[in-house]
Amino acid sequence: MNSRHLILALLFTLTAPLFARDQTDRLIMKNGDSMTCEIKGLDGGVLYVSFDYIDGTASVDWSKVARVESAQLFVVKTEDGSVYTGALKTAETGAGRPMQIRVVETPEQVYTMERSQIVGIVPTSDKFWERFNGGISFGTIYSKGNQSTQYSLGASTAYVRERWNGSARLDSNLSKSTGTTASTRNSLALTALHLMSKKNWFYEGVGGILQSSEQSISHQTLLGGGVGRYLKNTNQASIQLLGGAGWQDTTYQQANTPIPHQNTAAALIYVDAKLFKFSKTSFDATASIVPALSDPGRVRVDTNASYYIKIIGDLKWNISFYGNWDNQPPPGLSGSDYGVSSGVSWTYGLK
């Protein structure tokens, strides 16, 4: 299978759509408005809902919701790292008291919490394909002057369960112009996270594959894992930090002379940050810092960051940055590869 077929296969996997639910959920706002809808999820202080008479997804300010009722199953996450699964109901409270949400797992097992403590609501299902959320983005730039063309393609997906989740992200960039060799960069990042009994702590496995013509990397594999903690987990921001160990295998290619494999045992520092502003903008960034243990003094850094602005419905405009650095590359090879791209994004599932 060639690289084009591999990318297409990965893209198909990453963008499997989330099937629609019945639109029988109920919302009552603080101003008295009542609506029947489909609750798609809560993220960054925004409750995403859809209606059978409106095209696309609507964004609702979570702080302005007075009551919520749904017989559908949801994974509910709170600021302190607790996770619950069940249907949603609103507990009766006295005037002036904070709104409380009940997560009904079974008639005998009901969990009650204040609305402000809830930072995430994700629909779940016994059906495999209905547990995915994600998105796809594409951008292109063309210049007639030097016949220059740039393409960027990104896709991501997350599979969410009660106390664990898995995610995958594919990024592909190509740049070519008349009289020069095309420059390509392709990366695939994989993570699997499981919450520990100690709140806001987790253990996580991290994997990645990188190809970069700028750095003459034909294939680089990273496998690692460790223990992490949510440094911030609210409706405005989510920041997690992981520390552990890993292994990195790199194959270089310079002209027609292959450089032997380099196998490196390394420490691993992984950061994942998400910032939100109600319905309009969001910022996602990941960075892996890999100090070599078997090659002291050598450090590799990989980053991906995207800033999104909502256009309409599930469509967003984004500007993205990627970067790879190696402070001790093999002789004659570049120690860095970085770039910026922009385009449009479409999301499915939660948003």
User: What average pLDDT does this structure show over 295-312?
Assistant: 91
pLDDT at 10 over 70: no
Q: Which of 6-10, 199-203, 282-286 has the lowest mean pLDDT?
A: 6-10
CATH number at 3-15+130-348? 2.40.160.40
> Confidence class of residue 16 from pLDDT cuts 50, 70 and 90?
very low
The answer to whether residue 29 scores a pLDDT higher than 60 is yes
Helix (H) or strand (E) holding 27: strand 25-29
Two tokens, residue 302: 């990989």
- Does the pLDDT at position 6 exceed 80? no
pLDDT at 242 over 50: yes
- Given this model, what pLDDT does residue 102 score? 92
Q: Beta 54-61 vs 46-51: how paired, if at all?
A: antiparallel
Q: What is the mean pLDDT of residues 24-35?
A: 91
For 32-58, what is the mean pLDDT? Answer: 85
Does domain 25-126 fall into CATH 2.60.120?
no
Which helix (H) or strand (E) segment holds residue 11: the answer is helix 3-14
Fold match between 3-15+130-348 and 25-126? no
pTM, 2 dp: 0.75
Residues 93-133 have pLDDT tens digits of 766 678 899 999 888 899 999 988 998 888 776 566 666 77
pLDDT band of residue 336 (cuts 50, 70, 90) is very high
DSSP character string of 234-300: SSSEEEEEEEEEEEEEEEEEETTEEEEEEEEEEEEEEEEEEEEETTTEEEEEEEEEEEBSSSTT-EE
- For the chain, the structural domain boundaries read 3-15+130-348, 25-126
